[in-house]
């Protein structure tokens, strides 16, 4: 499973942030690794022009499944780490549900 990290112009990408995102995605989706080819992580600051506010960090995750349409979720939180963790949990639930309906889980 390939994990790609993308940030907007307002987020400074760092090795620590990349490691946290990859670890959160892999931990949440480890049990589904044979079904997922790639996960794209998109990190953004929703109100960067205002320089503050609550829950302005957004993480959107898009999982590409072999032979199926991609599944995407997003989560907003006060920090990037919280947004990543929340989105990873949502994606796990969405994939478990979708694959369960397909009878492949």
Phi and psi of 48, rounded to 5°? Answer: -65, -25
Residue 18: enclosing H or E segment and its boundaries?
helix 15-29
Q: What is the DSSP letter of 100?
A: H
Phi and psi of 24, rounded to 5°? Answer: -65, -45
More confident residue, 21 or 103: 21
If you average pLDDT over every residue of the chain, what do you get? 88
Query: What Rg do the C-alpha atoms of the chain give, in angstroms?
Result: 14
pLDDT at residue 105, rounded to an integer? 46
Architecture in CATH of 2-102: 2-Layer Sandwich (3.30)
pLDDT beyond 70 at 69: yes
What's the average model confidence in pLDDT over 58-77? Answer: 93
Do the Cβ atoms of 1 and 37 come closer than 8 Å?
Answer: yes
> Which residues neighbour 30 within 8 Å (Cβ) at sequence distance 6 or greater?
none
pLDDT single digits (tens) 4-16: 999 988 888 788 9
pLDDT single digits (tens) 43-52: 998 876 666 6
Q: Where are the domains of the chain?
A: 2-102
What's the average model confidence in pLDDT over 47-74? Answer: 84
pLDDT at residue 3, rounded to an integer? 93
């Amino acid at each position: 499973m390939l994990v790609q990290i993308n940030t907007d112009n307002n987020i400074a990408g760092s090795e620590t942030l990349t490691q946290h995102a990859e670890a959160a995605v892999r931990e949440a989706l480890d049990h589904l690794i044979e079904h997922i080819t790639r996960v794209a992580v998109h990190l953004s600051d929703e109100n960067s022009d205002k320089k503050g506010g609550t829950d302005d960090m957004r993480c959107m995750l898009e999982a590409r499944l072999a032979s199926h349409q991609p599944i995407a979720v997003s989560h907003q939180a006060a920090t990037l780490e919280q947004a990543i963790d929340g989105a990873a949990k949502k994606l796990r639930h969405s994939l478990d549900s979708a694959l369960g309906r397909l009878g492949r889980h």
